[in-house]
Amino acid sequence: MGETGASDRGDGRGDRVVVGRATIDDVEAVADLWVELAAGQRAHSSHLRPEANRETALDAAARAAVSGGLAVARVDADPTGAAGERGIVGFVTFGLESGQYEQDVDRGSVYNLYVRPEYRDDGVGARLLDRAEAALADDGADVVGLEAMADNAAARRFYERRGYEPHRVELEKPVDDDPKR
């Protein structure tokens, strides 16, 4: 899952956003944002059911907050005083891979990156990704991997601009379309 359409062409809202490590007090808001992320990814053929997975997302956010694998983008201040302009507007979850196979690199993973649509195109997603990459490098990662939905062209462009290249391709088909049956 990824953030769509991050660039520096926005309206300046991102200037009021501060990226930092999340606390356990942030996990409810992050779970709400995860539901938004999952709902948006349904347009890109995701099979995740947003509301049905909220508790799982909440548990994952709590574990990530405790382990240091969760950063949030928070509106620092609203100079106009408009209601609802404070709080968490994006998040990134990340960690080191720990598989059963030996690899020739230590690999970090970005699991989720999401920025509310009204805060996109102002560099918020880039700052969240920077934070995750720096933390993963500090933890010993040699490379960072992530996933994006195949038909989410905006997310794929964002990651490609950040230097990400295809590494592994996942293929899928419905079993009732199996021509060998």
How is the chain split into domains, by residue range?
13-177
pTM above 0.95, yes or no: no
In the block, which residue shows the tokens 């799982």?
56
Cα dihedral across residues 59, 62, 89, 170: positive or negative: negative
Per-residue pLDDT, averaged over 54-65, amounts to: 98
Q: Which whole number is the average pLDDT over 134-150?
A: 97
Model confidence at 10: pLDDT above 90: no
Predicted pLDDT at 176: 86
Give residue 15's pLDDT: 79
Sorting pLDDT into bands at 50, 70 and 90, what band is 141?
very high
Nearest to 131 by CA among 108, 147, 99, 157: 108
pLDDT of residue 4: 38
Q: Which amino acid is at 149?
A: M
Q: Which residue is listed with tokens 């720990």?
A: 98
Mean local confidence (pLDDT), 27-56: 96
Return phi, psi of residue 103, to 5°: -125, 165
- Return the CATH number of the domain spanning residue range 13-177: 3.40.630.30
